[in-house]
Amino acid sequence: MSELPYKSIPEMLKANAARFAGQTAVSYKKGGEWISLSYEHLYERVLMAARGLKKAGVQPGDRVAIFSENRGGWAISDLGIQMVRAITVPIYATNTAAQAAYVINHSEAKIVFVSTRVQYQKLLSVRDQIPDVELIVSYERFMGDKALPVYTLFQLSEISYPLTESEQQEIEAESEKISSEDLLTIIYTSGTTGVPKGVMLTQANMIADAWYGVKQLGGMESSEVFLSFLPLSHVLERTAGYHAALMYGCHVAFAESVDKVVENILEVRPTTMVSVPRLFEKIYSRIYENVHQMNPFKRKLFHQAVEIGRQYVYCRYVHRQPVGLLGIKYRLADRLVFRAIRQRFGGRLRFFISGGAPLDKTINEFMWIIGIPTFEGYGLTETSPAVTLNNIDEVRFGSVGRPLEKTEVKLAEDGELLVKGPQVMRGYYKNPEETEKTMTGGWLLTGDIAKIDGDGFVYIVDRKKEIIVTSGGKNIAPQPMENELKLDKYISQAFVYGDSRPYLVAILTPNLERLLELAHQQNLSYFDMEDLVSHSRVRALFAERIALVNGKLPSYETIKKFVLIARDFSVEGGELTPTMKLKRKVIYETYRDKIEKLYLENGNGGKG
């Protein structure tokens, strides 16, 4: 690990507090105004938090939990925890009280940082289940209950009392004892099935992933502005949108919430962002909805511009050929069409990084066409997370890029992707059995079926456990089909099912805006959304849309029947993980009766 620039995140922060002292490190919105902390000021706040944690009795190796949405306090807490050589245990802000209690108990955290009264109330409701918790530290002021003491981060940090020189020296001396192999964090996988597992990641794991990930992108200037909106409790945002940014002296602005991202983009005008495919799906859908409303001339101009853009992108970036006259055509298309689209992203956005789930090839191409290259990568919580990443010089649409430097990949006999590298976890916390199942001979078994082409680009086919095996013995990957369905202007989300069954069925959620527009145009009579999705004309429309997708597939992969439900799958509803992956078992159990009915109709039931 000697090639890495730092042995720990605290060492990095101290160095950058001097190197980029007056530059903005983080910013967040409070009371309608953006508040910024310079690198020097951030470091001071982190040292104060560390001082408070030491006074609260936190010892090296202790676990300290953070139960919060993204905000400045999250970063200050996490860095303060590391400064005293403790271990950060993030909890998704969307977790229920019971889920949070599991993580707290399993990690044996005695102190929990929370964002608001809402998270505090969750913990208070399960106080009897978390008896070892001694202290709650909140980022907002409110009255707590004597059964669960609460202080603010300001109170813990004793913000009114400047750090003395001796206090700073004592904290820095402690942080200098951190080795690269010390645990930085335990992240409990959200998981699409089963009980969460605590992934143990070291300082070296996360520094290596951030360092080699940025090298794969060709480096980074300190002038970059990140807008952070994915949960910091997820390793993708933490490494790519937070650690990597601070490592290079960049500015990280924390979005107010997922709902405010569009508004915050225009305020912050970021140069780069990390996202999951759901955002790009919504961007793509919204743009094409607007095109649908245009007059015929503008609509034709848009489609011509997109076609020119597609040819230009493939010529310049994929085939690496001179663009010639095509470059002039693209510049004209850009001036007439694409520039206005980019202004909706603040006008400075240079690129996106996409991870967490497969990004549809058509949507990825479109983002490049409009002048916002979107670098799709692949990784797991267990790999800190990045394993592979496309970049401006090496891109293959449909692939997740080539492995990062110092990272090896290979395929097992059944096509499962195996990974070895400096970013691979130490193991699962207090779970040697699962660690042994997942690590073999130094290789991590990813659980993903993949292909690797002659140039070393990796293509993810599907999750090994999610491959559908029909009763006819056909192996079918559901994700590509679901992605194809989601490209339809009327379909928001899709879930394909058919394991051990004679044919495939789907649960679809509609694009409600489009559906309501259709109902208005055709004067459909309905009582509520449940009534509308069961309307015969609506069902006929969705049958037609599925038929268009089926027409591209072999007969055994076609969807024979479907269920249309009146709302999107959601994290709150339990159907999605915090990174927007489908929880297949939950969706099946939730809609079991509707799914089973599709197989019972026409006497074609059972699992035969």
pLDDT at position 289 is 86
pLDDT at position 343 is 95
Tell me the per-residue pLDDT of 417-428, one tens digit each, with 9 for 90 and over: 999 999 999 999
* Torsion of Cα atoms, 181 then 185 then 186 then 192, to 10°: -120
pTM of the model: 0.87
* Torsion of Cα atoms, 384 then 422 then 213 then 273, to 10°: 10
Q: Which residue has the higher pLDDT, 320 or 194?
A: 320
Confidence of residue 219 (pLDDT cuts 50, 70, 90): very high
What's the gap between Cα 398 and its chain centre?
Answer: 18
pLDDT at position 578 is 78
Strand 225-228 and strand 351-354: pairing? unpaired
In terms of Cβ atoms closer than 10 Å to its own Cβ (0-12, 13-18, 19+), residue 255 is buried
Give every CB contact of residue 543 below 8 A, 6+ residues apart in sequence: 562
Rg (CA), the chain: 25
Tell me the per-residue pLDDT of 471-492, one tens digit each, with 9 for 90 and over: 888 888 898 899 899 999 899 9
Confidence of residue 191 (pLDDT cuts 50, 70, 90): low
Tell me the per-residue pLDDT of 35-45, one tens digit each, with 9 for 90 and over: 999 999 999 99
- Return the half-sphere exposure (C-beta side, CA atoms, 13 A cut-off) of residue 384: 31
Confidence of residue 603 (pLDDT cuts 50, 70, 90): very low
Q: Where in the chain is the domain with CATH 3.30.300.30?
A: 467-603
What CA–CA distance (Å, rounded) separates 452 from 206? Answer: 25
- pLDDT over threshold 50, residue 267: yes
Is 9-18+37-219 a domain of CATH 3.40.50.970?
no
Is 275-347+350-464 a domain of CATH 3.40.50.12780?
yes
- The amino acid occupying position 235 is V
Confidence of residue 607 (pLDDT cuts 50, 70, 90): very low
Tell me the per-residue pLDDT of 117-146, one tens digit each, with 9 for 90 and over: 999 999 999 999 999 999 999 999 999 999
Task: List the beta strands (DSSP E) in 498-590.
Answer: 504-510, 559-564
**Structure tokens of 91?**
């909890």
* Contact (Cβ atoms closer than 8 angstroms) between residue 502 and residue 604: yes
Count of residues making up the chain: 608
DSSP label at residue 84: T
Task: Give which of 385, 411, 439 is closest to 579, Cα–Cα.
Answer: 385
DSSP label at residue 488: S
What CA–CA distance (Å, rounded) separates 184 from 585? Answer: 32
- pLDDT over threshold 50, residue 183: yes
Task: List the beta strands (DSSP E) in 223-371.
Answer: 225-228, 251-254, 272-275, 351-354
Superfamily of domain 467-603: ANL, C-terminal domain (3.30.300.30)
The arithmetic mean of pLDDT across residues 318-327, rounded, is: 97
Give every CB contact of residue 257 below 8 A, 6+ residues apart in sequence: 69, 229
The arithmetic mean of pLDDT across residues 54-65, rounded, is: 98
* Contact (Cβ atoms closer than 8 angstroms) between residue 508 and residue 539: no
The arithmetic mean of pLDDT across residues 156-175, rounded, is: 97
| Strand order from edge to edge, sheet including 491-497 | 491-497, 504-510, 559-564
What CA–CA distance (Å, rounded) separates 551 from 548? Answer: 5
Percent of the chain with pLDDT over 90: 83
- pLDDT over threshold 50, residue 526: yes
Give every CB contact of residue 290 below 8 A, 6+ residues apart in sequence: none
pLDDT at position 161 is 97
- pLDDT over threshold 70, residue 319: yes
Q: Where in the chain is the domain with CATH 3.40.50.12780?
A: 9-18+37-219, 275-347+350-464
3-state secondary structure string across 523-534:
CCCCCCHHHHHC
